[in-house]
Structure 1
């Protein structure tokens, strides 16, 4: 599977967003819920683009389903991990509604590029962030490497990007874990951490 597509968070209408990228879970690898997006994630749109490009005009960019949303997101993936990689942060998709929330460091060039590409029937909501995906991934990898560090204090069970510009950390005891993790990874990184309860993972 293409790594860019695998990292995209797709949220079905009424369903919780799935953690973006590979979620590391002690006790075995499994998909995990990153929880629902907050009001700030959803409502603080810097710009809303309603697709105007004729349907099918992005043929070749989309996934096998080849819907207007697939084709639009295929193009977004291409530029987000290409010429606009320095500003791209994350992506959450609602396939049923034909919408995508795109998180990025504000960029006129990026916004213009993806908005021009949106096909009819697709809505893109662009949200401001101050960190790109590469730096978030580096922070996530650092935390994942420390998974066993907290044994005896709390149980870290999941680490991954949630698509909205945060590192999702699933633990057994968020009340204990959150202040410890915020202190361990520094004030500059604390704003990007989301610490929530995660159940114990078991191999099926």
Structure 2
């Protein structure tokens, strides 16, 4: 099984742990989704840059082509192309990046041109950028105790592919309430599922 991590908020490599145990979500549209389940890429490109030629200048020799490509893509995504970037998922086993963005030829060209040999980039269409997705995430996070007595919201975080995963004790009750509360426009970004109560060890 591939180990997937995500880049975000200016961090080149950040483990996908927006919340504890998001992988425990069960019984909803959030069930064990893989990148392939979520969407089909609209464009795929193979890296052509010689090893060590991008972003990694001066970086430790142990850095891999995937890490160097990720560093450069992250700079593009949080720099001049931030208005179109949504999120990304890294797959070390496949030596690939799945990039979620609002379709943009300049961004697509820039990231494909940045990829080193041996690295595959898959570009997926979304209609929301990272800033707006994080704004919605913050709003939901601030409301975590709002629903007490109706259902319990236990976890909330980004899934890396342009959606917000919400873990609750009763998905059947929670999902229609949350979709109505945040509006039709935002509802399509929500993935509501069951999450067990978290306990401190």
1:3/1:106 CA distance change after superposition, 3 Å: closer
C-alpha distance in 1, partners of 2:123/2:191? 21
Residue correspondence of structure 1 range 1-204 to structure 2 within 5 A = 3-5=9-11, 8=14, 18-19=16-17, 22-23=18-19, 30-33=20-23, 35-37=32-34, 39-42=36-39, 44-58=40-54, 59-60=56-57, 65-204=62-201
1:38/1:81 CA distance change after superposition, 3 Å: closer
C-alpha distance in 2, partners of 1:168/1:4? 21
C-alpha distance in 2, partners of 1:159/1:190? 14
C-alpha distance in 1, partners of 2:33/2:120? 20
8 Å CA contact 2:100–2:161 kept in 1: the answer is: yes
C-alpha distance in 2, partners of 1:193/1:98? 28
Deviations 1:12-46 (A, max 9, x none): xxxxxx45xx32xxxxxx3532742364524x211
Q: Which runs of 5+ in 1 are unaligned?
A: 10-17, 24-29
C-alpha distance in 1, partners of 2:88/2:184? 25
- How far 1:196 moved relative to its partner? 1.1
Deviations 1:97-143 (A, max 9, x none): 10111000000000000000000110000000000010000000000
What number of residue pairs does the alignment pair up? Answer: 186
Which secondary structure state, in structure 1, belongs to the residue aligned with residue 137 of structure 2? Answer: helix
Aligned equivalent of 2:4: none
- Alpha-carbon RMSD across the aligned residues, in angstroms, is 2.2
C-alpha distance in 2, partners of 1:168/1:130? 17
1:181/1:65 CA distance change after superposition, 3 Å: farther
C-alpha distance in 1, partners of 2:60/2:179? 38
Which secondary structure state, in structure 2, belongs to the residue aligned with residue 78 of structure 1? Answer: helix
8 Å CA contact 1:98–1:121 kept in 2: the answer is: yes
